[in-house]
Amino acid sequence: MSHDVSNAKVLNTPLSTNRWLGTATLVVAGALQTLTFSPFQLWWLGPVSVLLILLVTVPLASEKLFRAGWLTGLGLFGSGASWVYISISEHGNTVIPVAILLTVAFVAGLALFHGLAFWFWGKLARNSAVRRLILFPAIWILGDWLRGWLLTGFPWLYLGTAHTDGPLAGLAPLTGVHGITFWITATGAGLYAGWWLMKHLRPVAAGVTLVIVLIPWLIAPAMNRVDWTELSTEATTFAAMQGNIPQQIKWDPEFLKDQIVTYLGMTEGHWDTDLVLWPETAIPIPQDQAGKIIEHISNELGENSTLITGIPWYGFSDRLEDFTYHNSIIAIGNGEGMYHKQKLVPFGEYVPLQSVLRGLIGFFDLPMSSFSQGPAWQDPLTANGIKIMPFICYEVAYPDFVAFNARGAGLLLTISNDGWFGDSIGPLQHLQIARMRALETGRYMLRGTNNGVTAIINQRGQLTETIPQFERATLTGEVFTAKGSTPYMQTGSWPVLTLAVILIVFTRERVIPPVSASGS
């Protein structure tokens, strides 16, 4: 490519020259990514979305890319995460206009991550179309990574998660979700490059480019049949109770006894099961007040049986040097251990700037929104000698956190109460995220929820047993422990992040000549 501005102009299309058409395309492209996830599972729209984004943004002047990124994020989070409105309005006792305003602020704030990433992309690539194409996957990955930890993080709607049932699923044990996302964005960039080369009558170069980006799509399905971990031959019997307790009465003192009686009744006939699972805060009173309940459960369980349940914890913390609450999970019976949740949900489990925000609206005073963060590097729970690493609700969304904590554990387990999000797509996205964690670690993931979807997920991320949403039912099945580690468990996302940094470092002006971008 030459340095002529005229060559840059051939990159222009109505999508990049018409401001309103470009705006609409970016928002739609972001929304298309939501369709790649559950319950839609149109994974093939991932590269299509990226291609549309590039058709708009590659010709744009650098100073216009922040807005372009923000619009993309607006489409993604507006369609894929606006279910937070249900928590704010229905369960936060917030009037509708304020709930709408807070939801819009939430979506617009998350979209800033894409805006920042695209701004950085423009600064690095300047006006070189070639550099923009090479750098795009790297910038996207780094933007996802930043969003996953800054201000406790929102590791949701990563493009790679859509491939639990897609052809790139075989990459998950090798590279994790970020590696899959990298190749989806690289594929979109490759499609753009192929289109541009064909316009310049270079069919051989276009063909080579397309073959390169298609290679992982052809190899990954075979990789999905590789056994990275070794499963035990002896099955562990498993039962999980889905109580379907309405969120409106979850913390009402008048209904606390009824909830416990419900779960005790559902467990009748399953006390001799090897592993019994109740969901997040199934016992809705702190452990220091639940001694008789825990004792009753222990007496009912069979000699080799363990019941694991969510329960709030209250007591003095040597680490925090104060009395505090934790959102916790405990093993009872032929097992031991208690785990305190580390990744807390802002406003749901703790309130940032609570001295200012408490009391302003009902959403800032949700029940049990005063939890403290649990300590890092907690030991797994044990059940009949099996090491089980638990993750409470939102924690399962953090890929590296799950991978590193899964080391040495034979089973993974997650409990949740997705009743906060009603009949929205949020809980189904949450289930798909748990499936990706099973894929990445080569381990069974046991999922217990209050109102669905309770499930057994095998080491390949497949659902073997489920209870549909909004049903009171008991799930039974068999699970198998795993030995060994996947490559991703050993390295985490660092190889992919390192590759992104390498691309940034070596894709510089003296290596790749610039082609001025359009100012339109």
Element (H, E) at 180: helix 172-199
First to last CA, the chain: 20
Per-block mean pLDDT, blocks of 10 residues, the chain (520 long): 40 88 98 98 98 96 96 98 90 84 95 98 90 96 95 93 97 98 97 91 89 93 93 97 90 89 96 98 94 96 97 87 91 97 79 52 56 92 97 97 96 93 94 98 98 96 96 98 98 97 81 49
DSSP-assigned letter for residue 451 = S
Q: Over the stretch 206-215, which tens digit does the pLDDT of each residue have?
A: 899 999 999 9
Q: How many CB atoms lie within 10 A of CB 506?
A: 10
Of 432, 430, 473, 429, whose CA–CA distance to 450 is shortest? 473
- Quick check: helix, strand or coil at residue 402? helix
The whole model's pTM is what?
0.93
* Contact of 155 with 397, CB cutoff 8 Å: yes
Q: Identify any residues that bridge with 381 across adjacent strands, giving them in sequence order.
A: 388
Beta sheet of 322-333, edge-to-edge order: 338-340, 322-333, 306-317, 275-277, 236-242, 473-479
| 3-class SS string, 33-98 | HHCCCCCCCCCCHHHHHHHHHHHHHCCCCHHHHHHHHHHHHHHHHHHHCCCHHHHHHHHCCCCHHH
What b/e string do you get for 351-368 counting C-beta neighbours within 10 Å, with b at 16 or more?
Answer: beeeeeeeeebbbbbbee
Nearest-10 Cα torsion for 8, 10, 11, 12: 110
Distances (CA, A) of 228 to 94, 135, 353, 459: 48, 31, 45, 10
Confidence (pLDDT) at 2: 35
pLDDT confidence of residue 1? 34
Three-state SS at 277: strand
- Chain-centroid distance of CA 247 in Å reads 23
The torsion region of residue 206 among left (phi > 0), alpha (psi -120 to 50) and beta comes to alpha
Among 338, 343, 317, 341, smallest CA distance to 380 is for: 338
Question: In a 3-state reduction of DSSP, which class is residue 150?
Answer: helix
Q: What are the Cα distances from residue 155, in Å, to 148, 191, 194?
A: 4, 27, 32
**What is d(CA 68, CA 60) in angstroms, rounded to the nearest whole number?**
9
Nearest C-alpha neighbor of 281 from the set 436, 60, 450: 450
Active site residues: 280, 341, 393
Q: What is the pLDDT of residues 474-485, one digit of tens each?
A: 999 999 999 999
Helix 129-147 to helix 96-125 angle, to the nearest 10 degrees? 140
